[in-house]
Structure 1
Amino acid sequence: MRIGTRLGLAGVISGALCLTLAACSTSEPASQDGAVSGRTSSPPAELASAAGADQADIEVVLLGTGSPVPSVERFGNSTLVRANGLNLVFDAGRGASIRLNQLGVPIGTIDGVFLTHFHSDHVNGLADLWLTGYIPALGGREGSFHLYGPPGVSQISDGLLLTHQNDIDVRVADENLLRDTAAITPHEFDDEGVIFDRDDVRVTMFEVEHDAAGAIDPAVGYRIDYGESSVLISGDTRPTPNILKYGEDVDLLIHEVADFVDPSLPALQNVYSHHTNPQQAGEIFARTRPAMAAYSHIVHGAPPRIPDLPIEVIVERTRETYDGPLTVGEDLMAFYISDRDVRVESHTG
């Protein structure tokens, strides 16, 4: 699975920089240019039952917004999407199960996990999500663990089962665990298109380009639709035509971003070639015109060796090419979507 073309640069749109910690919606923006950023710390355990969810068609919570860098502030990349009673998780980076527990979402109630690709920072929380979900006192899952994605999902499933076979055998013998709850059901798809359609919730998988040479293959993104509301999750990608195709007029477009204090460092050139910088992302937002654009999988440093690029600078650089609503994601930030209205809540605890 590979796309060989890239998105060219478009015109420049200037915008003022304004960050706020308050909640906002696209109908009542919290700042002049619609840019929102928040920092989270010890959010309420029942965040998932916030009042905004009652009126929303789709609720999205950023479980982890970070990079491979181990961080207590930004966990590994993972996103929870809730629609019509379903709990869907996209990527399972470091700490995903911890964030779900903070939300008060029982880990055993996850209806499916969707992988964008197989870099470790997108799957290193997968075993924990699966294993904790089948422990009756912690997860209480009924039936198997459903894993979705491009070719390679079955191999990951087989590897997890082999690695943790002893744990499963012991719990079956010692705790009367039902072996079926420890099973993993892989759903592997070669072609892009709708790969999940249940209770009027549709998930469409599409190819993206994570590197120029095609070595990182497969790499995909996802669009989730329910009723008149929609979300697109880019996955890890360079500017890719499919983001424009599937992201046109989407309500919430969650895109990765990468930039650094000193972009000339030789060690960073490979990173830049594998990701989307703020100006490029702004161009994508300008062409797709989402009701809300949001950043997650924020790659901007590896302290202390490589200092973090300030979030304000990422926003400033995005504003060179985009002047619409923009949110810089933080862990446990929630989006409540009803058609073209997107309410953003950043919980400071």
Structure 2
Amino acid sequence: MAGSIRKMPWSLLVGVAISLAIGPGIPNIAASEEHPVSGEIVVTLLGTGGPEPTATRFGPATLIQAGGLSLLFDAGRGVTVRLYQLGISSGKGIDAVFLTHYHSDHVEGLPDLWMTGYMFGPFGSRSRPLRLWGPSDGKEPSGAARIAKGLTEAFSDDTRIREADEHIATIATQIEARDFQPDRVVFDESGVKVTAFTVDHGDLVKPSVGYRIDYGSRSVTLSGDTKFSENLIKFASGTDLLIHEVFAMSPQLATLPQLKPVADHHSSPEQAGAVFSRVKPKLAAYSHLVLLGVSADEILSRTRGAYQGPVAAGEDLMRFEVGNSIVVKRWNQDLRRYSD
């Protein structure tokens, strides 16, 4: 037995050790994966920030669980860490990944998610290709397919070595990319329907989409990155939970010419409030908050000038259980679990 252990690859030994004895502070992934109650949609904001590399708000990423599926929308910085905090495997725990557009802050966590997912261990051990959806820009290879091709080439040494040294199955290191044209259903499995729709992130940032997720009588809509968008209002009509981006800055920073084009690509609290007042969701929530010199309380106050309905400022790991009502839960870092 000792001789056999010495011949085992290092990562295999680590995976076995983690599986046999979950140490302090390490989530028991096999036991901790949570699945929604039948008929519910559970939404977890894995990352609610923007490009700023802060530990408070990781990059944009939203996990949606319904019908026994776990779907990830965008893969910003730190997404794999947030999944690990929740005890969700980056490999076995994610059924599909959907990108809203190809700005770096929405995709920079994707290489980590992909490669961690095929490594051996409770945090990985994917046994099939990573499934990746993204809007087409009309080029060949297009959109998500171009990213998949680039990642495969850039990290070919890692996959080659791990396949030979750690006996990782080749299929687990593959990316199955699916490009699509928006304003249509792009995914329909296990009763979960995902519709992608065009949004306005500026003339040079195309394609850019939002997503509506329907499961039974429940629905969730994600705005993606967008200015005020009539198409978003159209596709979000009747949704239970609307998760929307927001950009706000102090009057002093607003004088900087470098920030004007950035602001022009996003929605202000007032513009988002106007969207909420038209859509009338059961709950509106902000994610992908880019706040420069302003607080979350300030953006909520500014939103209420145009919208008097329920609205929340999202935080990393905030969870929404969408059933007959919408229950909001916050992550307790000290207890490493959700508080009611």
TM-score, length-scaled by structure 1:
0.82
The letter of the residue matching 1:140 is: S
1:284 aligned to 2:275?
yes
1:216 aligned to 2:205?
yes
Distance 2:225 2:235 in 1: 15
Shift in Å at residue 271 of structure 1?
1.6
Shift in Å at residue 347 of structure 1?
2.1
State the partner residue of 2:13.
none
State the partner residue of 1:29.
none
Distance 1:44 1:318 in 2: 37
User: Which of 46, 69, 80 is the matching residue for 1:97?
Assistant: 80
State the partner residue of 1:240.
229
1:162 aligned to 2:147?
no
State the partner residue of 2:331.
347
Distance 1:264 1:324 in 2: 32
The structure having more radius of gyration, on CA atoms, is 2
User: Which of 160, 173, 177 is the matching residue for 2:164?
Assistant: 173
- Pair 1:175–1:194, CA change in 2 (3 A): same
Contact 2:49-2:58 at 8 Å conserved across structures: yes
Higher RCO by CA contacts (8 Å cutoff, separation 6 or greater): 1
Contact 1:209-1:240 at 8 Å conserved across structures: yes
Distance 1:209 1:83 in 2: 28
State the partner residue of 1:76.
59
Tell me the percent identity: 45
SS at 1:54 equivalent: coil
- Pair 1:176–1:201, CA change in 2 (3 A): same
Q: Which runs of 5+ in 1 are unaligned?
A: 1-41, 302-307
State the partner residue of 1:274.
265
Paired residue total: 297
Shift in Å at residue 312 of structure 1?
1.2
Distance 1:172 1:140 in 2: 13
State the partner residue of 2:114.
130
State the partner residue of 2:9.
none
Shift in Å at residue 49 of structure 1?
3.4
TM-score, length-scaled by structure 2:
0.84
Shift in Å at residue 149 of structure 1?
1.3
1:205 aligned to 2:196?
yes
Structure 1 residues 1-349: aligned runs within 5 Å: 49=34, 53-54=36-37, 57-108=40-91, 109-137=93-121, 138-151=123-136, 152-211=143-202, 214-262=203-251, 263-301=254-292, 308-339=293-324, 341-349=325-333
RMSD between aligned alpha carbons?
1.7
Q: Deviations over 1:39-82 (max 9, x none)?
A: xxx998788639xx436610000000001000101000000000
The letter of the residue matching 1:144 is: P
Q: Deviations over 1:62-106 (max 9, x none)?
A: 000001000101000000000011010000000000000101111
Quick check: 267-276 or 117-126, which moved more?
A: 267-276
Contact 2:182-2:209 at 8 Å conserved across structures: no
